[in-house]
Structure 1
Amino acid sequence: MGQNPAMSMPLLKLQERVYPTIAPWRRDQLARQLDVFPEGQLVAERDDRIVGCASSLVIVWDEWADEHTWREITAAGTFSTHNPEGLTLYGAEVFVDPTLRGQRIGHHLYEGRRQMCRRLNLRRIIACGRLPGYSAVAEQMPVELYVKKVLWGDLVDPVLSFQLREGFRFCGIMSDYLPDVVDSCGHASLIAWVNSGYQSKRPTALQTSSTDTGGLQP
């Protein structure tokens, strides 16, 4: 997995197919993401075509642990909030070709993130996931009860149920995280995966790189 500028157009077309009601990344956003944190941008390929993507940045989680929106934490998709001094890999986006769902592409993208977290010696992965099943029952229950029912196994949410199977812990609700996403009614689930191999007594690979080059990268 990996990403290069030549992949931008097919990636954007795939994103538009997956989320037809949401504006896809712009090419300048992709270019900026690759500039600030190239190793954090993953794609899955099959038969020489892009079938999935996982975009990430590194943050100091204490700066964002309170309520925030996707637009705020990703700097509107430019990832200029990326901070090599951080210990948290933040999952900004994941999408998979809708014709290939159920073929473990999402699992491989999540595993790619976990491997990245271990390789860089980061403490955790945190993300805020859509709740696409919520809008169908929003008039019947608050979002907090909906998530509880997913955790209890009474309901299945296409995203949260998958994330729980991938070993993530549910940590709470972020309201108005994606205000334009209708199927989640703007809400998102805050999830976390803790790197059991994190070594607190040594710097992360990004911190080491920053020191070697004389300071933080832009």
Structure 2
Amino acid sequence: MLTIRNLLPGDVDSAIALQSSVYPTIPPFREDQFANLLQIFPRGQFAAVPDERLVGIAISLVIVWERCSLHHTWASITNDGNFDTHNADFGHTLYGAEVCVSPDERGHGIGHALYEARRNLCRAMNLKRIIAGGRLSGYARHATKLTPGDYAKRVIWGELYDPVLRFQLDEGFDYCGILPDICRQTRNR
């Protein structure tokens, strides 16, 4: 049975291993980054745990969206992964900084359950919205023929399939545009 609970300090090694398996070309968060997240906003960090195995995580922080823009970067929102931009006192936006599910466990509703936990947190904190960026994981196969924006439009129209964008759309998110350099691999690690 799947349990969604808050991420715990004892989960950090498993979370790092999970990120490494899901995004092999992107460095995982460091232990100190997880420690900082768990100190500043423990209730915004979620773990998907069936049978005591960590198979998914969702990392979030509250931000003052009015200080940002639709053309932000992951690095600017998270202060290069330090997450000290978290501001629960004045922020009204839950920012989804990371979500990943083990490739072996996809298709079982784990991503949806993690997003449901985020929605519940958003309601409990009386926040206005959830904002999240996502990778266009299937774009590379079309990069010689389409711009990222054209690719995204064709996914939205149902002409092409992208697992990340389709998942976000199915979760009720609106497509707002392409964010250059949104991925965390642009950070200095």
TM-score (norm 1): 0.80
Shift of 1:178: 2.3
Runs of 4 or more consecutive aligned structure 1 residues displaced over 2 Å after TM superposition: 178-181
Alpha-carbon RMSD across the aligned residues, in angstroms, is 1.2
In the alignment, which of 118, 127, 143 is matched to residue 122 of structure 1?
A: 127
**Are 2:33 and 1:68 aligned?**
no
Using the aligned pairs only, state the percent identity: 52
**Are 2:51 and 1:19 aligned?**
no
| 8 Å CA contact retained: 2:74, 2:184 | no
Unaligned runs of 5+ in 1: 182-218
The residue type equivalent to 1:108 in the other structure is A
- 1:138 maps to which residue? 143
Cα-to-partner distance string for 1:119-148 (whole Å, 9 max, x where unaligned)? 110000001111101111010011111011
In the alignment, which of 24, 31, 54 is matched to residue 50 of structure 1?
A: 54
| 8 Å CA contact retained: 1:130, 1:159 | yes
Cα-to-partner distance string for 1:101-122 (whole Å, 9 max, x where unaligned)? 1011001001110111011100
Q: Aligned partners of 1:152, 1:90: CA distance in 2, in Å?
A: 26
> How many matched pairs?
181
| 8 Å CA contact retained: 2:155, 2:162 | yes
Between Structure 1 and Structure 2, which shows a larger proportion of strand residues? 1
Tell me which structure has the larger Cα radius of gyration.
1
The residue type equivalent to 1:127 in the other structure is A
- 1:33 maps to which residue? 37
CA distance 1:179–1:92, shift in 2 (3 Å): closer
The residue type equivalent to 2:68 in the other structure is W
**Are 2:135 and 1:111 aligned?**
no
Shift of 1:67: 2.1
- 1:168 maps to which residue? 173
- 2:11 maps to which residue? 7
| 8 Å CA contact retained: 2:27, 2:185 | no
TM-score (norm 2): 0.92
The residue type equivalent to 1:78 in the other structure is N
| 8 Å CA contact retained: 1:42, 1:109 | yes
Between Structure 1 and Structure 2, which shows a larger proportion of helix residues? 2
In the alignment, which of 91, 94, 98 is matched to residue 96 of structure 2?
A: 91
Q: Aligned partners of 1:66, 1:131: CA distance in 2, in Å?
A: 17
Q: Aligned partners of 1:25, 1:180: CA distance in 2, in Å?
A: 10
Shift of 1:93: 0.1
Unaligned runs of 5+ in 2: none
